[in-house]
């Protein structure tokens, strides 16, 4: 799909809000009882009249993002993390061109939100964010994310429609990077890796390539893909993910409900994450330039995905819980030097507390414990295999 031949009208149902839509969207939010109820759930002591006035004072998306959205995310960080940090800024491409940030995916809402506020703090600017339409459960959520400069990834479409939908999405991303010169964030796969075994889906790269006008390597080079490694000390949704593993094991036809998605969003935002660190990896342009353009397309996409994976695996940050989980899962003491007895006991107590939260028919605690240990040890295992 040639981006020059695509009308902006083709992006109508996936794009963020246009400038002339901002004031109407803000008015829609501040008068929405559902939005007020959800906001009070996170900030119960908010003065709604004062907050509404601050909302109405924002006349552009940039004002909204850099003040209210920024303040909200930093407040969540203050309340639910021990620390929020970023490293690897020196690896950002010179001249700060628009980039495609691709990261592993831990939290539905906060991965991109945390990255955005930290990029803003270092003067890189705020990115547009890809969000699946399966998460737009309430009308106010769709309005809010579009106001916050997110674009929508359609997932609830038929197989027949998928090619057209992917082509439009690819065209929009290419247009955003090349024409409007805005960076974007997109997860390395559809949905979170529930066991933290992070691998880039080649289908994501195929989608990004669709709107290009040259060969695969040239098309992806033009998007300035920068991998980002996300490391949460604790995943507040770990028990929900473990529960889902057993539900799917016991019933292969099990499908999460919208209520499950809402619970995951709420839990991820509101509860303890410990230390959270983002590491910016190297732009992959130089690495993929060395690949053989004549190789089979599927093999080429797989090789590029592995380059992204390596950057993520090499740049994880590890905490005592990762080392404890690895030793517990594999029955070794290989990493005993990376944690104290007190830290081991603290993680074991944390693990049991999370397991106790799981309410499920025929609860298989041994299975659930193993799944949670995998979540905390898989990043370390991938890092070791990568080295």
pLDDT at position 360 is 94
Q: Are 382 and 196 in contact (CB under 8 A)?
A: no
Q: For the residues 272-301, what does the mean pLDDT come to?
A: 96
pLDDT 10s digits, 229-278: 999 999 999 999 999 999 999 999 999 888 898 899 999 999 999 999 99
Q: Are 61 and 186 in contact (CB under 8 A)?
A: no
Higher pLDDT, 124 or 30: 30
Q: Token pair 């690495």 is at which residue?
A: 287
Task: Say how many residues make up the chain.
Answer: 387
Q: Token pair 């119960």 is at which residue?
A: 44
pLDDT at position 9 is 67
User: Is a pLDDT exceeding 70 seen at residue 158?
Assistant: yes
Sheet holding 81-87, edge to edge: 81-87, 274-280, 225-232, 100-103, 184-187, 128-132, 150-153
pLDDT band of residue 10 (cuts 50, 70, 90) is: confident
Q: Token pair 């995905």 is at which residue?
A: 305
pLDDT 10s digits, 61-108: 999 998 899 999 999 999 999 999 999 999 998 888 999 999 999 998
Task: Quote the radius of gyration of the chain (alpha carbons, Å).
Answer: 21
Higher pLDDT, 261 or 209: 209
pLDDT band of residue 125 (cuts 50, 70, 90) is: confident
pLDDT band of residue 118 (cuts 50, 70, 90) is: very high
Strand 81-87 to 150-153 pairing: unpaired
pLDDT band of residue 298 (cuts 50, 70, 90) is: very high
**DSSP alpha helix (H) spans, 179-274:** 202-209, 216-221, 238-250, 258-270
Report the C-alpha gap between 43 and 167 in whole angstroms.
Answer: 40
Domains of the chain (ranges; CATH) run 3-234+272-317 (3.40.1130), 321-386 (no CATH)
pLDDT band of residue 4 (cuts 50, 70, 90) is: very low
Cα dihedral: 160, 131, 234, 283 (round 10): 90
User: Is a pLDDT exceeding 50 seen at residue 5?
Assistant: no
pLDDT band of residue 8 (cuts 50, 70, 90) is: low
pLDDT at position 96 is 85
Q: Which residues contact 325 (CB under 8 A, 6 or more apart)?
A: 347, 372, 373, 375, 376, 377, 380
Work out the mean pLDDT of the chain and round it to a whole number.
93
The token pair at 386 is: 């990568």
pLDDT band of residue 2 (cuts 50, 70, 90) is: very low
Strand 128-132 to 274-280 pairing: unpaired
């Amino acid at each position: 799909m040639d981006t020059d031949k695509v009308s902006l009208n083709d992006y109508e149902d996936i794009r963020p809000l246009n400038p002339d839509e901002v004031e109407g969207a803000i008015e829609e939010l501040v008068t929405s009882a559902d939005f007020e109820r959800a906001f009070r759930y996170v900030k119960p002591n908010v003065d709604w009249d004062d907050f509404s006035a601050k909302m109405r004072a924002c006349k552009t998306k940039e004002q909204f993002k850099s003040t209210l959205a920024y303040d909200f995310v930093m407040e969540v960080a203050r309340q639910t993390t021990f620390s929020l940090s970023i490293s690897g800024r020196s690896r950002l491409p010179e001249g700060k061109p628009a980039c495609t940030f691709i990261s592993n995916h831990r939290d539905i809402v906060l991965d991109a939100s945390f990255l955005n506020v930290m990029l803003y703090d270092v003067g890189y600017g705020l990115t547009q964010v890809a969000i699946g339409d399966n998460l737009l459960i309430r009308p106010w959520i769709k309005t809010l994310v579009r106001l916050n400069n997110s674009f929508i990834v359609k997932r609830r479409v038929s197989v027949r429609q998928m090619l057209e939908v992917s082509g439009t999405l690819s065209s929009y991303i290419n247009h955003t990077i090349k024409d409007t010169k805005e960076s974007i964030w997109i997860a390395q796969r559809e949905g979170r890796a529930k066991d933290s075994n992070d691998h880039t889906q080649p289908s994501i790269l195929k989608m990004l390539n669709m709107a290009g006008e040259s060969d695969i390597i040239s098309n992806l080079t033009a998007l300035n893909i920068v991998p980002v490694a996300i490391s949460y000390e604790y995943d507040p949704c770990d028990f929900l993910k473990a529960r889902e593993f057993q539900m799917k094991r016991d019933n292969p036809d099990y499908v999460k409900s919208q209520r499950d998605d809402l619970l995951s969003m709420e839990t991820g935002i509101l509860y303890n994450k410990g230390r959270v660190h983002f590491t910016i990896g190297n732009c992959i342009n130089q690495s993929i330039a060395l690949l053989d353009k004549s190789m089979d397309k599927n093999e080429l996409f797989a090789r590029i995905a592995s380059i992204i994976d390596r950057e993520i695996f090499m740049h994880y940050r590890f905490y005592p819980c990762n080392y404890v989980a690895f030793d517990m899962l594999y029955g070794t003491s290989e990493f005993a030097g990376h944690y104290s007895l007190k830290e081991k006991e603290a993680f074991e107590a944390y693990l049991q507390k999370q397991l106790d939260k799981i309410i499920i028919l025929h609860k298989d605690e041994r299975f659930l414990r193993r799944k949670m240990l995998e979540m905390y040890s898989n990043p370390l295992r991938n890092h070791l295999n990568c080295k």
